[in-house]
Amino acid sequence: MFKYTPATLQKIENILKESNYTIRYEKGTFKSGFCILQEKRVVVVNKYFDIESRINSFLEMIPELDINFSLLDEKETQMLLPFLQAKLEV
């Protein structure tokens, strides 16, 4: 599928930023490692997570977010499709 690298993390962060989400890394005791503040379009991820956990947190939350696909290029859209389809199948 993809590799858990800093470059992959940066791609996912860029996708969220292009959809006007602010990403914050904060310490906290969130159960799943992230918190979404929908009205303010802020995503908070546990700052103590390693790269793999951060990527997994973003991928877990993406189906719940309002992603503007018209602003994404084809590669970015293809990267997200499996996670969005999984939500539709549930």
Domains of the chain, first to last: 6-89 (3.30.2010)
| pLDDT at 66 exceeding the cut of 80 | yes
pTM of the entire predicted model = 0.81
| pLDDT at 2 exceeding the cut of 70 | no
Report the alpha-carbon distance of residue 33 to residue 12 in Å, rounded: 16
- pLDDT band, residue 86 (cuts 50/70/90): low
Q: Partners of 26 in the beta sheet?
A: 46
- pLDDT band, residue 75 (cuts 50/70/90): confident
Locate 9 and state its tokens. Answer: 């993390």
Q: What is the mean pLDDT of the chain?
A: 82
- pLDDT band, residue 5 (cuts 50/70/90): very high
